[in-house]
Structure formats: C-alpha cells, structure tokens
C-alpha cells in the first residue's frame, strides 16, 4: 500500500504523531510505503502541541512541492489521510482548489477513486463546513471528525488519542490493537426473549 499522510494546521498534532509512530513501527511489516506532507501551519501547530520537530523515516514533502509523485494519479497511491484536517483543507478539497500539495493530493485521491480520510478538527461547524463535508462525502471521501470516545475507559490523553487513531487505521485496513474494542456491556445479562404470540 502506498499512503500519503497530510498534516494540516488544525489542532490535533498528537493524532498525527500517534499515526506516524504506529506507521514507523508497523509500516514495514504491513507492506506500507508512507509519504508525509505538512502544511506550514501544520508544522507550527505541531511545534506548539508536541514541542519537538517531527523525525520519521518517511519521505517528508513541502506543501508547495508539486513534484511529489502523489500529485499525479499515475503514481498509483492507494490512499491518503489528512490528520488533523483543517477546515481550510476540507474546503479546498471540496472545491477542487489545488493550490498546495495536500489539497492537490486530496483532489487526486477523489478523481482516482482512492481512499481519502479527513480527520476534521473544527468546532463549531458552520454551514460552509457542513456543505464542504457533504461535497467531499458525495465525491467519495470519509470525513472522520477528531472525536475521541470514552466507552473503552481511556486512562490517559494518549489512550484517548488512540481512540481516534485506531478508527483511522481500521479504515485503512491496518490491524491494530490501539484501543479496547466494544464488545457489549460486560457481564452481559441476557434479556428475556419476549413471546411474540
């Protein structure tokens, strides 16, 4: 699998870090090739929220470098995740405004009918955002809002972050055990079967 990870300037760099950490340790065994592109604000927010510079064994592209292979459909990439996804990137992809590499790669994923996951982080959501979401969903993207879940009982911020990243990996088809999965209420008390007659 050839995968692009786009990191834009929404809050949520810990989601991106966790995904990249997972891919750095599992990409080889899962046969995944990873390319990364930061928007300039994506880098700034990463610095603000993580502190250190991102260091990963992947090709890291500048957001204005359209020579990246995944700027063209002919390079046959399988999918892209934008994590976190700013409302700006969402809107640019929704309207086909490919002024930077992240938006262009998203555009390519849609036109080539490849997987495009947008881990949107914005609140509240305006009508502009809602319409952009509808537009990209209709065009084939998955909008996966950065909405952590609590039912698995995450005991730390990292565990909470994992509840989002696990769902992203699931959609990419990458086996992971980042979060405890819902298996019904335990211990389960069987409901009495009602007699329909």
Ligand X SMILES: Cc1cc2nc3c(=O)[nH]c(=O)nc-3n(C[C@H](O)[C@H](O)[C@H](O)COP(=O)(O)O)c2cc1C
Chain contacts with ligand X (rule: CB under 6 A): 8-11, 39, 41-42, 44-45, 48, 86-89, 121-122
Q: Is the CB of 6 or the CB of 79 nearer to ligand X?
A: 6
Q: How far is CA 157 from CA 46, 55, 176, in A?
A: 16, 21, 18
The four Cα atoms 149, 166, 54, 65 give a dihedral, to 10 degrees, of -110
Instruction: State which residue, 22 or 38, has the beta carbon closest to ligand X.
Output: 38
* Distance (Å, whole) CA 181 – CA 189: 19
- Of the pair 10, 110, the CB lying nearest ligand X is at 10
Contact 63, 100 (CB under 8 A): yes
The minimum distance between CB 155 and ligand X, in angstroms, equals 25
Smallest CA-to-CA distance from 85 within 125, 32, 31 is with: 125
Q: How far is CA 129 from the centre of its chain?
A: 17
Nearest CB to ligand X, comparing residues 27 and 119: 119
**Residue 8 Cβ, how far from ligand X at the closest point, in Å?**
3
Q: Which is nearer to ligand X, 7 or 27 (CB)?
A: 7
Q: Which residue is nearest to ligand X (CB)?
A: 9
In DSSP terms, 85 is beta-bridged to 120
Helices 13-30 and 157-172 meet at what angle, rounded to 10? Answer: 50
**CB of 47: closest distance to ligand X in angstroms?**
10
Rounded to the nearest whole angstrom, what is the least distance from the CB of residue 188 to ligand X in the complex? 39
Q: Which of residues 16 and 179 has its CB atom nearest to ligand X in the complex?
A: 16
What's the distance, CA 91 to chain centroid? 16
The two structure tokens encoding residue 76? 């046959």
| Min separation Cβ 122 and ligand X, Å | 4
Shortest Å distance, C-beta 64 to ligand X: 11
């Amino acid at each position: 699998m050839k995968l692009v990870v786009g990191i834009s300037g929404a809050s949520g760099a810990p989601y991106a870090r966790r995904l990249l950490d997972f891919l750095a340790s599992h990409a080889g065994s899962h046969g995944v090739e990873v390319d990364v592109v930061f928007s300039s604000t994506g880098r700034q927010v990463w610095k603000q929220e993580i502190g250190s510079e991102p260091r990963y064994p992947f090709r890291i592209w500048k957001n204005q470098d359209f020579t990246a292979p995944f700027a063209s459909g002919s390079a046959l990439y399988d999918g892209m995740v934008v994590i976190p996804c700013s409302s700006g990137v969402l809107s640019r992809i929704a309207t086909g405004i490919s002024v930077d590499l992240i938006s262009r790669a998203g555009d390519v994923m849609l036109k080539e009918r490849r997987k495009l996951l947008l881990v949107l982080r914005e609140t509240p959501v305006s009508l502009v955002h809602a319409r952009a979401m509808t537009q990209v969903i209709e065009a084939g993207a998955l909008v996966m809002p950065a909405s952590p879940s609590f039912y698995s009982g995450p005991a730390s911020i990292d565990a909470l972050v994992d509840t989002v990243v696990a769902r992203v990996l699931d959609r990419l088809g990458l086996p992971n055990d980042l979060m405890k999965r819902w298996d019904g209420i335990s211990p389960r008390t069987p409901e009495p079967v009602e007699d329909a007659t």
